[in-house]
Structure 1
Protein backbone atom coordinates (compact mmCIF):
# COMPACT_ATOMS: atom_id res chain seq x y z
CA UNK A 1 0.00 0.00 0.00
CA UNK A 2 1.26 3.43 -0.95
CA UNK A 3 0.52 6.33 1.38
CA UNK A 4 0.24 9.97 0.37
CA UNK A 5 3.14 10.80 2.66
CA UNK A 6 5.33 8.62 0.46
CA UNK A 7 4.27 10.34 -2.76
CA UNK A 8 5.65 13.48 -4.35
CA UNK A 9 4.63 16.62 -2.52
CA UNK A 10 1.89 18.59 -4.23
CA UNK A 11 2.91 22.10 -5.22
CA UNK A 12 -0.73 23.26 -5.21
CA UNK A 13 -2.90 20.80 -3.26
CA UNK A 14 -6.13 22.50 -4.35
CA UNK A 15 -5.70 21.05 -7.86
CA UNK A 16 -5.24 17.49 -6.64
CA UNK A 17 -2.75 14.76 -7.47
CA UNK A 18 -4.22 13.91 -10.90
CA UNK A 19 -3.33 17.31 -12.36
CA UNK A 20 0.07 17.18 -10.66
CA UNK A 21 0.76 13.84 -12.37
CA UNK A 22 -0.39 15.22 -15.73
CA UNK A 23 2.04 18.12 -15.37
CA UNK A 24 4.87 15.73 -14.53
CA UNK A 25 3.96 13.66 -17.60
CA UNK A 26 3.95 16.82 -19.74
CA UNK A 27 7.48 17.67 -18.61
CA UNK A 28 8.72 14.24 -19.70
CA UNK A 29 7.61 14.67 -23.32
CA UNK A 30 10.56 15.22 -25.65
CA UNK A 31 8.81 17.11 -28.45
CA UNK A 32 8.06 20.74 -27.60
CA UNK A 33 4.92 20.86 -29.73
CA UNK A 34 3.52 17.85 -27.92
CA UNK A 35 4.31 19.48 -24.58
CA UNK A 36 2.53 22.65 -25.64
CA UNK A 37 -0.54 20.72 -26.80
CA UNK A 38 -0.67 18.77 -23.55
CA UNK A 39 -0.20 21.97 -21.56
CA UNK A 40 -3.24 23.49 -23.30
CA UNK A 41 -5.26 20.36 -22.47
CA UNK A 42 -4.17 20.56 -18.83
CA UNK A 43 -5.23 24.23 -18.70
CA UNK A 44 -8.71 23.30 -19.95
CA UNK A 45 -8.91 20.49 -17.42
CA UNK A 46 -7.83 22.81 -14.60
CA UNK A 47 -10.57 25.25 -15.61
CA UNK A 48 -13.18 22.47 -15.53
CA UNK A 49 -12.05 21.29 -12.10
CA UNK A 50 -12.12 24.84 -10.72
CA UNK A 51 -15.07 26.64 -12.39
CA UNK A 52 -15.06 29.35 -9.71
CA UNK A 53 -11.92 30.80 -11.30
CA UNK A 54 -13.87 31.72 -14.41
CA UNK A 55 -15.62 34.51 -12.52
CA UNK A 56 -12.30 36.25 -11.90
CA UNK A 57 -10.59 38.68 -14.24
CA UNK A 58 -7.86 37.18 -16.46
CA UNK A 59 -8.56 33.70 -15.12
CA UNK A 60 -6.71 32.14 -18.09
CA UNK A 61 -3.58 34.04 -17.13
CA UNK A 62 -3.94 32.78 -13.58
CA UNK A 63 -4.29 29.18 -14.76
CA UNK A 64 -1.09 29.42 -16.78
CA UNK A 65 0.72 30.83 -13.76
CA UNK A 66 -0.59 27.94 -11.67
CA UNK A 67 0.54 25.45 -14.31
CA UNK A 68 4.05 26.85 -14.14
CA UNK A 69 4.01 26.61 -10.35
CA UNK A 70 2.80 22.99 -10.57
CA UNK A 71 5.75 22.31 -12.86
CA UNK A 72 8.09 23.71 -10.20
CA UNK A 73 9.02 26.63 -12.50
CA UNK A 74 10.50 24.23 -15.04
CA UNK A 75 8.27 23.91 -18.12
CA UNK A 76 9.27 24.68 -21.70
CA UNK A 77 6.02 25.19 -23.64
CA UNK A 78 4.39 27.82 -25.81
CA UNK A 79 2.35 30.04 -23.50
CA UNK A 80 0.19 33.08 -24.35
CA UNK A 81 1.46 34.71 -21.15
CA UNK A 82 4.94 35.14 -19.69
CA UNK A 83 5.70 32.74 -16.87
CA UNK A 84 6.35 34.28 -13.45
CA UNK A 85 9.60 33.76 -11.61
CA UNK A 86 10.06 32.58 -8.05
CA UNK A 87 11.19 36.05 -7.08
CA UNK A 88 8.06 37.68 -8.47
CA UNK A 89 5.74 35.33 -6.62
CA UNK A 90 7.74 35.65 -3.40
CA UNK A 91 7.66 39.45 -3.58
CA UNK A 92 5.54 41.00 -0.85
CA UNK A 93 2.62 43.19 -1.96
CA UNK A 94 3.09 46.93 -1.75
CA UNK A 95 1.72 48.70 1.27
CA UNK A 96 -1.69 50.18 0.56
CA UNK A 97 -2.12 53.90 0.90
CA UNK A 98 -4.63 54.69 3.60
CA UNK A 99 -7.14 57.53 3.25
CA UNK A 100 -6.06 60.96 4.37
CA UNK A 101 -8.50 61.00 7.28
CA UNK A 102 -6.75 58.94 9.94
CA UNK A 103 -5.58 59.21 13.51
CA UNK A 104 -7.71 61.26 15.88
CA UNK A 105 -10.25 62.27 13.21
CA UNK A 106 -11.00 58.93 11.53
CA UNK A 107 -14.49 58.71 13.06
CA UNK A 108 -15.65 61.75 11.05
CA UNK A 109 -15.45 59.80 7.80
CA UNK A 110 -14.30 60.68 4.32
CA UNK A 111 -17.57 62.41 3.42
CA UNK A 112 -16.76 65.19 5.91
CA UNK A 113 -13.53 65.92 4.03
CA UNK A 114 -15.44 66.11 0.78
CA UNK A 115 -17.97 68.51 2.28
CA UNK A 116 -15.17 70.66 3.67
CA UNK A 117 -13.55 70.90 0.25
CA UNK A 118 -16.92 71.82 -1.23
CA UNK A 119 -17.41 74.55 1.38
CA UNK A 120 -13.95 75.94 0.68
CA UNK A 121 -14.78 76.23 -3.04
CA UNK A 122 -17.99 78.22 -2.40
CA UNK A 123 -17.98 81.99 -2.50
CA UNK A 124 -18.58 83.78 0.82
CA UNK A 125 -22.28 84.09 1.52
CA UNK A 126 -25.29 82.49 3.15
CA UNK A 127 -24.89 79.20 1.26
CA UNK A 128 -21.32 78.76 2.43
CA UNK A 129 -22.18 79.60 6.05
CA UNK A 130 -25.11 77.19 5.99
CA UNK A 131 -22.92 74.39 4.64
CA UNK A 132 -20.26 75.04 7.29
CA UNK A 133 -22.94 74.85 9.97
CA UNK A 134 -24.23 71.56 8.55
CA UNK A 135 -20.69 70.15 8.50
CA UNK A 136 -20.05 71.19 12.11
CA UNK A 137 -23.37 69.72 13.29
CA UNK A 138 -22.66 66.40 11.57
CA UNK A 139 -19.17 66.34 13.05
CA UNK A 140 -20.65 66.80 16.51
CA UNK A 141 -23.11 63.95 15.97
CA UNK A 142 -20.34 61.65 14.69
CA UNK A 143 -18.13 62.55 17.64
CA UNK A 144 -20.87 61.79 20.17
CA UNK A 145 -21.70 58.46 18.52
CA UNK A 146 -18.07 57.32 18.28
CA UNK A 147 -16.80 58.52 21.64
CA UNK A 148 -20.03 57.95 23.62
CA UNK A 149 -19.56 61.26 25.42
CA UNK A 150 -20.65 64.87 25.13
CA UNK A 151 -18.35 67.22 23.25
CA UNK A 152 -18.26 71.00 23.46
CA UNK A 153 -18.62 73.23 20.43
CA UNK A 154 -15.10 74.58 20.89
CA UNK A 155 -13.67 71.11 20.26
CA UNK A 156 -15.67 70.72 17.06
CA UNK A 157 -14.57 74.18 15.87
CA UNK A 158 -10.94 73.29 16.56
CA UNK A 159 -11.22 69.99 14.68
CA UNK A 160 -12.93 71.70 11.76
CA UNK A 161 -10.14 74.27 11.57
CA UNK A 162 -7.51 71.52 11.54
CA UNK A 163 -9.34 69.47 8.92
CA UNK A 164 -9.81 72.53 6.71
CA UNK A 165 -6.24 73.71 7.37
CA UNK A 166 -7.64 77.05 8.63
CA UNK A 167 -9.34 77.72 5.29
CA UNK A 168 -12.86 78.04 6.73
CA UNK A 169 -14.14 81.04 8.66
CA UNK A 170 -16.12 79.90 11.72
CA UNK A 171 -16.64 83.30 13.34
CA UNK A 172 -20.29 83.51 12.27
CA UNK A 173 -21.23 80.28 14.05
CA UNK A 174 -21.98 80.98 17.70
CA UNK A 175 -23.08 77.54 18.85
CA UNK A 176 -24.11 74.20 17.45
CA UNK A 177 -27.63 72.95 17.91
CA UNK A 178 -29.77 70.44 16.09
CA UNK A 179 -29.74 70.95 12.37
CA UNK A 180 -32.46 73.32 11.21
CA UNK A 181 -33.59 70.81 8.60
CA UNK A 182 -33.71 68.05 11.20
CA UNK A 183 -35.55 70.32 13.66
CA UNK A 184 -38.11 71.53 11.14
CA UNK A 185 -38.70 67.98 9.91
CA UNK A 186 -39.39 66.78 13.42
CA UNK A 187 -41.70 69.72 14.05
CA UNK A 188 -43.62 68.97 10.87
CA UNK A 189 -43.84 65.34 11.82
CA UNK A 190 -45.10 66.20 15.31
CA UNK A 191 -47.60 68.67 13.92
CA UNK A 192 -48.85 66.07 11.47
CA UNK A 193 -49.20 63.54 14.28
CA UNK A 194 -51.17 66.05 16.37
CA UNK A 195 -53.46 66.94 13.49
CA UNK A 196 -54.04 63.25 12.70
CA UNK A 197 -54.88 62.51 16.33
CA UNK A 198 -57.26 65.48 16.42
CA UNK A 199 -58.93 64.31 13.23
CA UNK A 200 -59.34 60.83 14.65
CA UNK A 201 -60.81 62.27 17.85
CA UNK A 202 -63.24 64.43 15.88
CA UNK A 203 -64.24 61.49 13.73
CA UNK A 204 -64.91 59.36 16.79
CA UNK A 205 -67.14 61.98 18.45
CA UNK A 206 -70.08 61.62 15.98
CA UNK A 207 -69.90 57.87 16.47
CA UNK A 208 -70.17 58.33 20.24
CA UNK A 209 -73.13 60.69 19.84
CA UNK A 210 -74.83 58.25 17.47
CA UNK A 211 -74.26 55.43 19.94
CA UNK A 212 -75.70 57.48 22.82
CA UNK A 213 -78.75 58.44 20.72
CA UNK A 214 -79.36 54.82 19.86
CA UNK A 215 -79.28 53.86 23.55
CA UNK A 216 -81.75 56.63 24.40
CA UNK A 217 -84.16 55.53 21.65
CA UNK A 218 -83.95 51.94 22.85
CA UNK A 219 -84.87 52.95 26.40
CA UNK A 220 -87.87 55.02 25.26
CA UNK A 221 -89.15 52.15 23.11
CA UNK A 222 -88.93 49.79 26.03
CA UNK A 223 -90.88 52.19 28.23
CA UNK A 224 -93.61 52.52 25.63
CA UNK A 225 -94.04 48.77 25.44
CA UNK A 226 -94.54 48.62 29.19
Structure 2
Protein backbone atom coordinates (compact mmCIF):
# COMPACT_ATOMS: atom_id res chain seq x y z
CA UNK A 1 0.00 0.00 0.00
CA UNK A 2 1.19 3.48 -0.84
CA UNK A 3 0.64 5.73 2.18
CA UNK A 4 1.51 9.41 1.93
CA UNK A 5 4.16 8.99 4.61
CA UNK A 6 5.80 6.21 2.61
CA UNK A 7 6.03 8.12 -0.65
CA UNK A 8 9.32 9.50 -1.80
CA UNK A 9 9.64 13.26 -1.62
CA UNK A 10 9.04 14.96 -4.94
CA UNK A 11 12.10 16.77 -6.26
CA UNK A 12 9.93 19.54 -7.75
CA UNK A 13 6.51 19.29 -6.06
CA UNK A 14 4.90 21.84 -8.38
CA UNK A 15 5.04 19.40 -11.29
CA UNK A 16 3.11 16.78 -9.35
CA UNK A 17 3.51 13.05 -8.87
CA UNK A 18 2.28 12.09 -12.35
CA UNK A 19 5.17 13.93 -14.00
CA UNK A 20 7.57 12.34 -11.51
CA UNK A 21 6.20 8.93 -12.50
CA UNK A 22 6.86 9.77 -16.15
CA UNK A 23 10.48 10.57 -15.25
CA UNK A 24 10.78 7.35 -13.23
CA UNK A 25 9.40 5.41 -16.20
CA UNK A 26 11.89 7.10 -18.53
CA UNK A 27 14.72 5.88 -16.30
CA UNK A 28 13.64 2.27 -16.87
CA UNK A 29 13.70 2.44 -20.69
CA UNK A 30 16.66 0.52 -22.08
CA UNK A 31 16.37 1.58 -25.72
CA UNK A 32 18.22 4.89 -26.08
CA UNK A 33 16.12 6.18 -28.97
CA UNK A 34 12.84 5.49 -27.19
CA UNK A 35 14.24 6.95 -23.95
CA UNK A 36 15.14 10.18 -25.75
CA UNK A 37 11.65 10.43 -27.25
CA UNK A 38 10.00 10.00 -23.86
CA UNK A 39 12.37 12.55 -22.33
CA UNK A 40 11.39 15.06 -25.01
CA UNK A 41 7.72 14.36 -24.30
CA UNK A 42 8.32 15.11 -20.63
CA UNK A 43 10.06 18.37 -21.56
CA UNK A 44 7.03 19.33 -23.65
CA UNK A 45 4.66 18.53 -20.78
CA UNK A 46 6.53 20.50 -18.13
CA UNK A 47 6.97 23.30 -20.65
CA UNK A 48 3.20 23.58 -20.87
CA UNK A 49 3.13 23.74 -17.07
CA UNK A 50 5.62 26.62 -17.14
CA UNK A 51 4.06 29.36 -19.32
CA UNK A 52 5.12 32.06 -16.87
CA UNK A 53 8.81 31.70 -17.77
CA UNK A 54 8.37 30.95 -21.48
CA UNK A 55 9.80 34.32 -22.47
CA UNK A 56 12.95 33.86 -20.40
CA UNK A 57 16.14 33.59 -22.51
CA UNK A 58 17.19 30.36 -20.76
CA UNK A 59 13.67 28.89 -20.68
CA UNK A 60 14.50 25.64 -22.49
CA UNK A 61 17.68 25.17 -20.47
CA UNK A 62 15.70 25.45 -17.22
CA UNK A 63 13.29 22.74 -18.35
CA UNK A 64 16.12 20.32 -19.07
CA UNK A 65 17.70 21.13 -15.72
CA UNK A 66 14.39 20.36 -14.04
CA UNK A 67 14.19 17.03 -15.86
CA UNK A 68 17.63 15.99 -14.63
CA UNK A 69 16.83 17.15 -11.10
CA UNK A 70 13.69 14.98 -11.05
CA UNK A 71 15.75 12.00 -12.23
CA UNK A 72 18.32 12.48 -9.46
CA UNK A 73 20.77 13.27 -12.28
CA UNK A 74 20.65 9.62 -13.38
CA UNK A 75 18.91 10.10 -16.73
CA UNK A 76 21.06 9.21 -19.74
CA UNK A 77 19.61 11.17 -22.66
CA UNK A 78 20.84 13.47 -25.41
CA UNK A 79 20.34 16.93 -23.96
CA UNK A 80 20.92 20.07 -26.07
CA UNK A 81 22.72 21.50 -23.04
CA UNK A 82 25.61 20.34 -20.83
CA UNK A 83 24.47 17.55 -18.52
CA UNK A 84 24.21 19.01 -14.99
CA UNK A 85 25.35 17.28 -11.83
CA UNK A 86 24.05 17.42 -8.28
CA UNK A 87 27.13 19.41 -7.31
CA UNK A 88 26.22 22.14 -9.80
CA UNK A 89 23.04 22.94 -7.87
CA UNK A 90 23.68 24.43 -4.46
CA UNK A 91 20.01 25.26 -3.83
CA UNK A 92 16.52 24.48 -4.99
CA UNK A 93 15.52 25.16 -8.60
CA UNK A 94 13.52 28.25 -9.43
CA UNK A 95 9.94 28.11 -8.22
CA UNK A 96 7.55 26.64 -10.74
CA UNK A 97 4.14 28.33 -11.01
CA UNK A 98 1.21 26.07 -10.19
CA UNK A 99 -1.10 25.46 -13.16
CA UNK A 100 -4.59 26.93 -13.11
CA UNK A 101 -7.27 24.34 -12.46
CA UNK A 102 -10.69 24.27 -14.04
CA UNK A 103 -13.70 22.79 -12.29
CA UNK A 104 -14.64 20.00 -14.68
CA UNK A 105 -12.60 16.81 -14.33
CA UNK A 106 -10.60 18.48 -11.55
CA UNK A 107 -10.45 15.13 -9.70
CA UNK A 108 -8.10 13.89 -12.43
CA UNK A 109 -5.59 16.66 -11.73
CA UNK A 110 -4.22 19.55 -13.75
CA UNK A 111 -1.19 17.59 -14.93
CA UNK A 112 -3.43 15.01 -16.62
CA UNK A 113 -5.13 17.78 -18.59
CA UNK A 114 -1.74 19.10 -19.67
CA UNK A 115 -0.67 15.62 -20.76
CA UNK A 116 -3.88 15.29 -22.81
CA UNK A 117 -3.20 18.60 -24.52
CA UNK A 118 0.35 17.53 -25.36
CA UNK A 119 -0.72 14.10 -26.65
CA UNK A 120 -3.26 15.71 -28.99
CA UNK A 121 -0.43 17.59 -30.68
CA UNK A 122 1.75 14.49 -31.11
CA UNK A 123 1.99 12.51 -34.33
CA UNK A 124 0.38 9.06 -34.33
CA UNK A 125 2.71 6.26 -33.32
CA UNK A 126 3.93 4.08 -30.47
CA UNK A 127 5.08 7.05 -28.40
CA UNK A 128 1.64 8.66 -28.55
CA UNK A 129 -0.10 5.36 -27.79
CA UNK A 130 2.14 4.84 -24.75
CA UNK A 131 1.38 8.34 -23.48
CA UNK A 132 -2.38 7.87 -23.97
CA UNK A 133 -2.24 4.65 -21.96
CA UNK A 134 -0.24 6.42 -19.25
CA UNK A 135 -2.84 9.19 -19.13
CA UNK A 136 -5.69 6.68 -18.78
CA UNK A 137 -3.77 4.85 -16.05
CA UNK A 138 -3.20 8.08 -14.12
CA UNK A 139 -6.86 9.05 -14.54
CA UNK A 140 -8.07 5.75 -13.09
CA UNK A 141 -5.75 5.98 -10.13
CA UNK A 142 -6.70 9.58 -9.39
CA UNK A 143 -10.40 8.71 -9.73
CA UNK A 144 -10.04 5.95 -7.14
CA UNK A 145 -8.41 8.37 -4.72
CA UNK A 146 -11.51 10.60 -4.85
CA UNK A 147 -14.14 7.85 -4.81
CA UNK A 148 -14.76 4.85 -2.57
CA UNK A 149 -16.27 2.72 -5.33
CA UNK A 150 -14.48 0.98 -8.17
CA UNK A 151 -14.64 2.49 -11.64
CA UNK A 152 -14.96 0.80 -15.01
CA UNK A 153 -12.52 1.33 -17.84
CA UNK A 154 -15.40 2.57 -19.98
CA UNK A 155 -16.00 5.46 -17.57
CA UNK A 156 -12.34 6.47 -17.67
CA UNK A 157 -12.10 6.16 -21.44
CA UNK A 158 -15.35 8.08 -21.95
CA UNK A 159 -13.97 10.95 -19.86
CA UNK A 160 -10.66 10.75 -21.73
CA UNK A 161 -12.53 10.85 -25.03
CA UNK A 162 -14.33 14.01 -23.91
CA UNK A 163 -11.15 15.64 -22.61
CA UNK A 164 -9.40 14.94 -25.92
CA UNK A 165 -12.44 15.98 -27.97
CA UNK A 166 -12.52 12.53 -29.56
CA UNK A 167 -8.99 12.80 -30.94
CA UNK A 168 -7.59 9.71 -29.19
CA UNK A 169 -7.85 6.09 -30.28
CA UNK A 170 -8.80 4.37 -27.03
CA UNK A 171 -10.13 1.09 -28.42
CA UNK A 172 -8.37 -1.89 -26.88
CA UNK A 173 -7.01 -0.04 -23.84
CA UNK A 174 -7.18 -2.48 -20.94
CA UNK A 175 -6.39 -0.91 -17.57
CA UNK A 176 -5.56 -2.85 -14.37
CA UNK A 177 -8.43 -3.76 -12.04
CA UNK A 178 -9.25 -1.13 -9.43
CA UNK A 179 -7.90 -3.32 -6.62
CA UNK A 180 -4.52 -3.49 -8.37
CA UNK A 181 -3.90 0.19 -7.65
CA UNK A 182 -3.63 -0.52 -3.90
CA UNK A 183 -5.05 2.83 -2.84
CA UNK A 184 -4.40 2.95 0.90
CA UNK A 185 -7.57 3.33 3.02
CA UNK A 186 -5.97 6.21 4.91
CA UNK A 187 -5.15 7.98 1.64
CA UNK A 188 -8.62 7.42 0.18
CA UNK A 189 -10.42 8.43 3.39
CA UNK A 190 -8.38 11.61 3.69
CA UNK A 191 -9.22 12.54 0.12
CA UNK A 192 -12.90 11.71 0.61
CA UNK A 193 -13.12 13.80 3.79
CA UNK A 194 -11.45 16.72 2.02
CA UNK A 195 -13.90 16.38 -0.88
CA UNK A 196 -16.88 16.24 1.50
CA UNK A 197 -15.64 19.31 3.34
CA UNK A 198 -15.33 21.20 0.09
CA UNK A 199 -18.88 20.24 -0.85
CA UNK A 200 -20.21 21.49 2.49
CA UNK A 201 -18.38 24.76 2.07
CA UNK A 202 -19.78 25.18 -1.43
CA UNK A 203 -23.31 24.91 -0.05
CA UNK A 204 -22.67 27.76 2.33
CA UNK A 205 -20.90 29.99 -0.13
CA UNK A 206 -20.17 29.73 -3.81
CA UNK A 207 -16.47 29.49 -4.53
CA UNK A 208 -14.66 30.59 -7.65
CA UNK A 209 -12.10 28.22 -9.21
TM-score (norm 2): 0.41
Q: Could you say which structure has the larger radius of gyration?
A: 1
Does 1 or 2 have the higher relative contact order (CA < 8 Å, sep 6+)? 2
